Amino acid sequence: MAENRYLLNAQLAQMLKGGVIMDVVNVEQAQIAQEAGAVAVMALERVPADIRKQGGVARMSDPGLIKAIKAAVTIPVMAKARIGHFVEAQILQALKIDYIDESEVLTPADEECHIDKSRFEIPFVCGARNLGEAVRRIAEGAAMIRTKGEAGTGNVVEAVRHMRTMNREIRQLAMMPVEEIMSFAKLNGIPYELALEVKKLGRLPVVNFAAGGIATPADAALMMQLGCDGVFVGSGIFKSGDPARYARAIVKATAYHDDPAKLLEVSMDLGEPMPGLDVATMPGAERLAGRGW
Amino acid sequence: MNAAVGAIGVLDLQGGVQEHLDHLQRIGVVGRPVKRAAELADLAGLIIPGGESTCLSRLLAIFGLDDAIRQAYDNGLKLWGTCAGAILLARENIGETPFLGLMDIAISRNAFGSQLDSFSGEALAPAVACQPIPLTFIRAPKITRIGDSVRVLLQVDDYVAAAEDDQILVTVFHPELTPSLAFHRYFARKCGLKVAAADDAALDPDWTPQSWTRFSYHV
């Protein structure tokens, strides 16, 4: 990928800042999301809550479905490829969607290597639990990062853990004398040059969204106040009692994340949120965030 | 007096807010994020940044900021819409309902295709700078018609990329994503602000693609 193309791809993510990206499984949901003020939609066959319930191997969605969703909205369309499945990514690039999510929500196709994203023209977003993961994905060519959280649980605890971990590690780096950085980079699996850049900026050099378990307007605002640049909502909208209402409320809460009076207003009388799962009692094999290397 | 206060607001609901704040600081103008109607008071100008126009329009309508912007415009506030901001300001929005409708132009949103069709280049806008300046188009709209009150600042192929009337500037590209400060200086002057004399075509050597992060959350 030319340097110029990478820059344009990182800059598209900049234009999504402060916004909400919503998972949708059909044209009707995509239109509801756009109408509610989503900045992009993630087109997929099943939301993470259903992937979790149904088990089996989760793959890239049928391109026919993604194409129909792309035709139905004017906002950017994203879709997921399996970790390491560079051919699914080639197919999504040929489909000319706007962003690929190399996602742990799908069953990994490669348990050692992620996609070499620098070989693609199309932008990628990748999940991360900590600074090392985030920076390795950036080194591979990701133009945008998101927390992994724990998708499909309606439980924000893992997204909070991942954002706090990233912030803590960035803070350590920012305070560190230069001679300690090589060792820190080695311990955390961070490319040295990027460690220096993160130290200088005091944050990731690309846009960083929250994802994985965000189910309410308050969850979205919590992640924004923790320093995320925007929010992905997977199952949280279309598994709630009133999706259009939840969608609008989460959009408003993300924009006004620092205004408790407005958060109160948008949180009132929303009806049932999506059902939640306790992550602490979940067996390791059911945790999606551990996928990725 | 507006000009005496001298701040330019950046609508801070969604999109490329920090990028504009960074550019305003580089030209020595006070930039102020605007989220609430009261924050429009005493501004010399307001930038409506790039982002997603449907999202911005929903958020503007929810808490009455759209009416507040119309009222401030009626009282003389200068406006600059970049990309999505230009869509919101257009009187005619092809295939969709216009939103603020304050400028007599027709605009077609996302007129180039998907992200793979986003591009950058450079062009000469003689009224703005005497040398070509870099341009970045991201899922950009095209201005397809301009009214009698509107002047073209930059024409590219079959569409208008930058235009102005007495009170409004629109660009379908993103000067805030480049090292060029020319359009920010141009808008500041349009707002009646004095900006330091400089070669408008010169690029800011200190700008990097990560400069926006100074105005975002950092540890």
* pLDDT tens, position by position, B120-153: 999 999 999 999 999 999 999 999 999 999 999 9
The SS3 of residue B115 is helix
Number of Cβ within 10 Å of residue B171's Cβ equals: 30
CB of B161 within 8 A of CB of B154?
A: yes
The CA-based dihedral angle spanning residues B95, B97, B99, B101, taken in that order and rounded to the nearest 10 degrees? 80
First to last CA, chain B: 38
* pLDDT tens, position by position, B179-204: 999 999 999 999 999 997 778 888 99
Which residues is A246 bridged to in the sheet?
A: none
Lowest mean pLDDT among A13-17, B5-9, B51-55: B5-9
The two structure tokens encoding residue B109 = 């949103």
Flag whether pLDDT at A238 surpasses 80. Answer: yes
* pLDDT tens, position by position, A34-92: 999 999 999 999 999 999 889 889 999 999 999 999 999 999 999 999 999 999 999 99
Mean local confidence (pLDDT), A100-120: 97
Q: Is any Cβ of chain A less than 8 angstroms from the Cβ of B55? A: yes
Diameter over CA atoms, chain B: 50
Q: Is any Cβ of chain B less than 8 angstroms from the Cβ of A43? A: no
Residues in chain A closer than 8 A to B55 (CB atoms): 19-20, 37-39, 75, 251
Flag whether pLDDT at B59 surpasses 60. Answer: yes
The SS3 of residue B146 is strand
- Residues B125-151 as b or e (16 or more Cβ within 10 Å = b): beebbeeebbbbbbbbbbbbbbeeebe
Best mutation site among B122, B173, B208, B217 for testing chain A: the one with the most A CBs within 10 Å? Answer: B217
Q: CATH number for the domain including B45?
A: 3.40.50.880
Out of B20, B23, B83, B184, pick the active-site residue: B83
Q: How confident is the model at residue B2 (pLDDT cuts 50, 70, 90)?
A: very low
List of residues 6+ apart from A24 with CB closer than 8 A? A30, A32, A33, A41, A42, A43, A44, A69, A238
Give the C-alpha distances (Å, rounded to integers) separating A166 from A198, A288, B152, B219. Answer: 11, 18, 47, 10
Give a yes or no: residue B130 inside a domain.
no
ipTM for the predicted complex comes to 0.96
Higher pLDDT, A293 or A165: A165
Residues in chain A closer than 8 A to B120 (CB atoms): 4, 7-8
Give a yes or no: residue B76 inside a domain.
yes
Whole-angstrom Cα distance, residue B149 to residue B166?
8
Flag whether pLDDT at A26 surpasses 80. Answer: yes
pLDDT number for residue B200: 82
CB of B50 within 8 A of CB of B27?
A: no
Q: How confident is the model at residue B93 (pLDDT cuts 50, 70, 90)?
A: very high
- Cα three-residue angle B212-B216-B219, rounded to 5 degrees: 120
Asked if A202 and B18 come within 8 Å (Cβ–Cβ), the reply is no
pTM of the entire predicted model:
0.96
Mark which residues 14-43 of B lie under 8 Å from A by CB. Answer: 14-19, 35
Which residues is B136 bridged to in the sheet?
A: B120
Mark which residues 249-278 of A lie under 8 Å from B by CB. Answer: 251-252, 254-256, 259, 262
Give a yes or no: residue B127 inside a domain.
no
Active site residues of A: 80
Q: How confident is the model at residue A1 (pLDDT cuts 50, 70, 90)?
A: confident
pLDDT number for residue B199: 82
3-state helix/strand/coil string of chain A: CCHHHHHHHHHHHHHCCCCEEEEECCHHHHHHHHHHCCCEEEECCCCHHHHHHHCCCCCCCCHHHHHHHHHHCCCCEEEEEECCCHHHHHHHHHCCCCEEEEECCCCCCCCCCCCCHHHCCCCEEEEECCHHHHHHHHHHCCCEEEECCCCCCCCCHHHHHHHHHHHHHHHHHHHCCHHHHHHHHHHHCCCHHHHHHHHHHCCCCCEEEECCCCCCHHHHHHHHHCCCCCEEECHHHHCCCCHHHHHHHHHHHHHCCCCHHHHHHHHCCCCCCCCCCCCCCCCHHHCCCCCCC
Residues in chain B closer than 8 A to A35 (CB atoms): 54
Mean local confidence (pLDDT), A128-143: 98
Domain around B160: 7-113+148-218
Give a yes or no: residue B194 inside a domain.
yes
Flag whether pLDDT at B80 surpasses 50. Answer: yes
Best mutation site among B59, B171, B178 for testing chain A: the one with the most A CBs within 10 Å? Answer: B59
Whole-angstrom Cα distance, residue A51 to residue A157?
20
Give a yes or no: residue B1 inside a domain.
no
pLDDT number for residue B5: 62
Give a yes or no: residue B128 inside a domain.
no
Give a yes or no: residue B24 inside a domain.
yes
Asked if B136 and A255 come within 8 Å (Cβ–Cβ), the reply is no
Which among A15, A203, A228 has CB closest to B50?
A: A15
Which among A14, A171, A254 has CB closest to B19?
A: A14
Active site residue B92: no
Best mutation site among B12, B13, B14 for testing chain A: the one with the most A CBs within 10 Å? Answer: B14
Number of domains in chain B: 1
- How many contacts does A have with B, using Cβ atoms within 8 A? 137
Mean local confidence (pLDDT), A119-141: 98
Asked if B209 and A35 come within 8 Å (Cβ–Cβ), the reply is no
Q: How far does B170 lie from chain A, in Å, by closest CA?
A: 17
Q: Is any Cβ of chain B less than 8 angstroms from the Cβ of A167? A: yes
Flag whether pLDDT at B4 surpasses 80. Answer: no
Flag whether pLDDT at B1 surpasses 70. Answer: no
- CA nearest to A208 within chain B: B217
- CA nearest to A14 within chain B: B16
Q: What's the mean pLDDT when you consider all of chain A?
A: 96
Higher pLDDT, B19 or B3: B19
The two structure tokens encoding residue B158 = 């079959």
Whole-angstrom Cα distance, residue A78 to residue A96?
10
Whole-angstrom Cα distance, residue A173 to residue A188?
11
pLDDT number for residue B3: 42
Flag whether pLDDT at A285 surpasses 70. Answer: yes
Q: How confident is the model at residue A261 (pLDDT cuts 50, 70, 90)?
A: very high
Give a yes or no: residue B103 inside a domain.
yes
Which among B84, B115, B216 has CB closest to A99?
A: B115
Flag whether pLDDT at A141 surpasses 60. Answer: yes
